[in-house]
Amino acid sequence: MGRDSLAKDLTLEEFARFRDFIHQQSGIYLEESKLDSLRISLVTRATRLEFSAFDEYYALLVRDHKEFSELMNLVTINETSFFRFPQQFAALKDRVLPEIMSAKPETNRDFRVWSAGCSTGEEPYSIAMTLLDAGIEGLGWRAQVLGTDVSTRALAVGQKGVYGQRAMLNVPKQTIARHFELVDDKYRVGEQARRLVDFGYHNLVKEPYPLSLMGNWDVIFCRNVTIYFRLDSTRRVVSNFFNSLNEGGYLFIGHSETLTSISDQFEPIEVGGVFLYRKTRTKKRFVISTPRSEYHAAPVTSAMTTPERSRRRHAVTRSQPVAEASEPSGTEMLGQARHSLAEGHPERVLDLVGQVLARDPNNAEAYLLAAYVHADIADHEQALEACHHALSINPLLPVARYILGIIYQRQGDTVRAISELKKTMYIDADFALAHLNLANIYKTQRKWDQAAREYENALRALYRSPEGAWTEFLGGFKADLLAKTCERSLVECRKAMGAA
């Protein structure tokens, strides 16, 4: 069967099969009106691979992630331009940026923006240019803009940073003069803006999100992306955005989109006719629970014997009901908990963890999962307690030490943060993120030589152990993005050392 046979219309059954798989893997839901465009994409890929039937291509698709990425390059629409809906960029410059900068402590001079669903890169570059025009670097701040997308082809365009006339429709002449270079009738983004922007693959629905353990975001742009998602997926994505933002951080969505009936976690703010969404309250706490038994006070380790700890309102249950033969094992339940964590359901994770601990109160892995979830939703008190419980069972857990270090770092206790990060590295010398966060602390303290050494150590650890335990804290991002961050910071430290 050749191309002519494949070019027939998809049956509704075949369309539903591919549509449901694409939805499961990416969150993008194709209505029946997209049947013909999907057929064209399928025919393009299947004939290129010399398949004679859609069933053969489907069999490859479900087992080959690279091929799924190739199909998504055809399915996703990458139509965008620079400074699309300029009022939002004006709001970023005139309201959001000054507000967030003024609220940060003197020790924190980082401003981080995530462009989620960035397509071919015009949006993250527009953000970078807006930050530069606001004078953020001249005031001694470090700006970082991250663009992510599910289309590897679109990301490749963004990394190249060269665009045609059509992308420049909304760009004023003075902006073109400041931030672009004309190269063979095309426009190349200038070095200053390119330096602020990194790109990486990220699936908003399937992947975990950038955790608070990696450092939260000040602003997230996700414009006209979730319109392709079903309502349940959109709600989960928006909830994950809330968790990923700093307190006081802002979410930018498409000017025709709204969070009504999707989320009540954000405070809507109107700025010059533009509605933005601000994170102003702490997310509801989730506690480890076991509905089958009553709560009992948990024994406190020596590392936690303070009056403050003894007044904890929540404690991990220690009841141990006899498990029925039909119930899943503790190992199976922890597997389910990890799956729920990846799917963005913290309540489910903590419920499963509580059930495991009710059977086995000395399960360190369960405590680590609890610590991971509590830290991710900025419930530092519960996260610290869970870490200490895990370490009372096994003091040689690098992940527990790392979570402690990051929490202390977030709380501004750099002495204890440095101590725990060093302990992490003593246990696991290739825990790259421990080196990176220690380097960031030294950089903030202007200890350039120590910071440079730790950035170098982080890079060495990345190359030696690219799939180590630390990778679970990457929030779905690839290690090469972390390497770029280390390399850029290392250059900054070396320049500062030379100027000193």
Cα dihedral sign for 274, 277, 278, 280?
positive
CA-CA-CA-CA torsion sign (376, 382, 387, 389): negative
pLDDT at 476: 63
Determine the CATH number of domain 86-278.
3.40.50.150
| pLDDT of 320 higher than 50 | no
**Higher-confidence residue: 113 or 67?**
113
pLDDT, residue 465, reads 80
* Structural Rg of the chain based on CA atoms: 24
The stretch 360-366 carries a mean pLDDT of: 90
| Per-residue pLDDT at 258 | 80
Distance (Å, whole) CA 286 – CA 385: 14
Mean pLDDT of 330-350: 82
Q: Report the predicted TM-score, pTM, of the whole model to 2 decimal places.
A: 0.62
Rounded CA-CA distance 447/150 in Å is 38
Q: Say if domain 3-75 classifies as CATH 1.10.155.
A: yes
Q: Which of 400, 402, 408, 399 is nearest to 381 (CA)?
A: 408
- pLDDT the model gives residue 387: 93
Nearest to 306 by CA among 371, 234, 385, 363: 385
Q: How far is CA 218 from CA 147, 245, 411, in A?
A: 14, 6, 17
Note the pLDDT of residue 214: 58
| Token pair belonging to 295 | 């709560």
Residue 34 to residues 16, 45, 62, Cα–Cα distance (Å): 11, 17, 21
pLDDT reported for residue 281: 55
Confidence category of residue 294, pLDDT binned at 50, 70, 90: very low
Q: Which residues are bridge partners to 370 per DSSP?
A: none
What is the reported pLDDT for 9?
65
Per-chain mean pLDDT for the chain: 81
- What are the structural domain ranges in the chain? 3-75, 86-278, 302-499
Mean pLDDT of 258-264: 83
How much of the chain, in percent, has pLDDT values that exceed 90?
Answer: 27
Tell me the per-residue pLDDT of 222-244, one tens digit each, with 9 for 90 and over.
987 766 677 787 888 888 888 88
Q: At residue 289, does pLDDT exceed 50?
A: no
pLDDT in tens, 155-206: 999 999 999 888 887 788 899 999 999 988 899 999 999 999 999 888 887 7
The CATH superfamily assigned to 302-499 is Tetratricopeptide repeat domain (1.25.40.10)
